[in-house]
Structure 1
């Protein structure tokens, strides 16, 4: 499965200088936040695959005017052809009361609320966030400190990948790293701008084979219905 991940800065090649067919090879497109909603609407129109997104700390208008045609995966586990994708957007709180900003405890509460979905699916394969995990790809200033609650989440469920943004290559003062490994074994990828990624079928469960009896039964029935 070929995936395009986006974050923080609109790529001119996918918007201003778009060439027909530039998005045709992707099976899935994921936004990690802080992107113009018009950009995502353009991309979903030109692509032949779903566009998923979480909100960044600057996506204050998304709740009233979400990107049309795109799928919000905030606080849920989204299943795409067997690939289980958990979305948790937003950044560390640096302005009291500001939308899309959270304390670490508030992020823990969000994770707790979605835990039932995670357990039902026997885990998840990709974590999509806007902020990095604390100590892994984040910065020292308050707005860009990562969430420690993400570290606990990764250690518990050990997904194959985590995509995030928020830390830009243009002003990270040498702390920008495109890829790194987490102690849990999860591969961490900063999606600033864009990142092309291919995940093999052997890296996530086939439809109906997560090991969760109820969820596998439901997904198997859905898959059979889709094919008939």
Structure 2
């Protein structure tokens, strides 16, 4: 199956009236944050495919609204977000979509006390809230999850020296413990095509989704 990942920049290759032709074979869309909801709505309505997203540290006009949503004791949320045209907010949730188990952790490292910023300890607490859902998946589906969708990167992987763009050490622990196939993040802008975009960490391929990135899992869509 093919997954279109987007983050941080409105990409003219996506935001175009030829989007249906260019991405006709995409099965799922994942947004790693810092994109306006109108852009996500455009993608959903154009491709008519599921879109799961987390918020970054910008474009937070609808952040408080989505934070009011509730999840079950397993953390599994099957309902579409009530706002927009069908994008699904998955921060702190584990969602099964198109045969994949996807969990979300939005936000960035805390740098000025604004919304959706966390210390590394606070992010680890967000991870702990996910554990019941992950264990449920391991017992009943044979694996914890397939994809962790984040805004920030893991510490030491694609991140920067400044506090705002520093990655979370807790994501490294998450990958070692729960072994997602992919960790897809945004937040780190790419200005040079030669910059590193994918990095393998233990069993996980870490991908910077800046602008847009296509993943072909090599598996047949069910």
TM-score range, shorter chain: 0.7 to 0.9
Superposed CA deviations along residues 41-67 of structure 1, whole A, max 9, x for unmatched, are: 111000121011011110311223854
Structure 2 unaligned runs (5+)? 67-82, 139-143
2:109 counterpart of 1:92 = yes
Q: Which residue of 2 aligns with 1:106?
A: 122
Q: Which residue of 1 aligns with 2:214?
A: 196
Does structure 1 conserve the Cα–Cα contact (< 8 Å) formed by 2:52 and 2:90? yes
Superposed CA deviations along residues 10-34 of structure 1, whole A, max 9, x for unmatched, are: 1112214645433321100000000
Q: How many correspondences in the alignment?
A: 199
Q: 1:41 to 1:130 in 2, by over 3 A?
A: same
Does structure 2 conserve the Cα–Cα contact (< 8 Å) formed by 1:55 and 1:62? no
Q: Which residue of 2 aligns with 1:178?
A: 197
Does structure 2 conserve the Cα–Cα contact (< 8 Å) formed by 1:33 and 1:89? yes
Does structure 1 conserve the Cα–Cα contact (< 8 Å) formed by 2:45 and 2:85? no
Does structure 2 conserve the Cα–Cα contact (< 8 Å) formed by 1:166 and 1:192? yes
Does structure 2 conserve the Cα–Cα contact (< 8 Å) formed by 1:5 and 1:191? yes
Does structure 2 conserve the Cα–Cα contact (< 8 Å) formed by 1:12 and 1:18? no
Q: Which runs of at least 4 in structure 1 moved beyond 4 Å after TM superposition?
A: none
For residue 82 of structure 1, report the CA deviation from its aligned partner.
2.6
Distance, in Å, in 2 between the alignment partners of 1:26 and 1:36 is 21
For residue 94 of structure 1, report the CA deviation from its aligned partner.
0.3
Q: 1:105 to 1:10 in 2, by over 3 A?
A: same
Q: Which has the larger radius of gyration?
A: 1
Structure 1-normalised TM-score? 0.81
